[in-house]
Chain A
Amino acid sequence: MPFETPQNQGFLVAAYVVAALIYLGYSVSLWRRSRKALREAARRVSASAGQPR
Chain B
Amino acid sequence: MTPTLASAERTLRFGYALTGLGLLAVSAVYVLAICFTPVEVRQGAAQKIFYVHAPSAWGALVAFALVGISSILYLWLHDTRLDLFAASSAEVGIAYSLVMLTTGPIWGKTVWGTWWTWDARLTLTLFLFFLFVGYLALRAALHDRGERARFSAVVGIMGLLLVPFIHLSVYLFRTLHPQPILLKPSSPSLPPEMLRTLMVGMAAFTLLYVGFVTVRYAMAQLADLSEGDADAV
Contact = CB atoms under 8 A, between A and B. Distances in A.
Contacts, number: 120
Nearest to B20: A27
Interface in A1-53: 3, 5-9, 11-12, 14-16, 18-20, 22-24, 26-27, 30-31, 33-34, 37-38, 40-42, 44-45, 47-49, 51
Contacts of B107: 11, 15
B19 A27 contact: yes
A24 B19 CA distance: 10
Contacts of B232: 48
Contacts of A7: 44-45
Contact of A37 (B44, B99, B226, B233): B226
Interface residues of B, number: 49
B110 A30 contact: no
Contacts of B53: 15
A19 B219 contact: no
B212 A26 contact: yes
A15 B222 contact: no
Contacts of A27: 19, 23, 212
B169 to A, nearest CB: 22
B95 A40 contact: no
A11 B105 CA distance: 10
Given A8-B45, A12-B46, A30 B212 contact: yes
Contacts of A11: 45-46, 49, 106-107, 109-110
9 contacts: A7-B44, A11-B45, A11-B110, A19-B99, A19-B103, A30-B19, A30-B212, A30-B219, A31-B215
Interface of B: 1-2, 5, 8-9, 12, 15-16, 19, 23, 26, 30, 34, 39, 41-46, 48-49, 52-53, 56, 92, 95, 98-99, 102-103, 106-107, 109-110, 208, 212, 215-216, 218-219, 222-223, 225-226, 229-230, 232-233
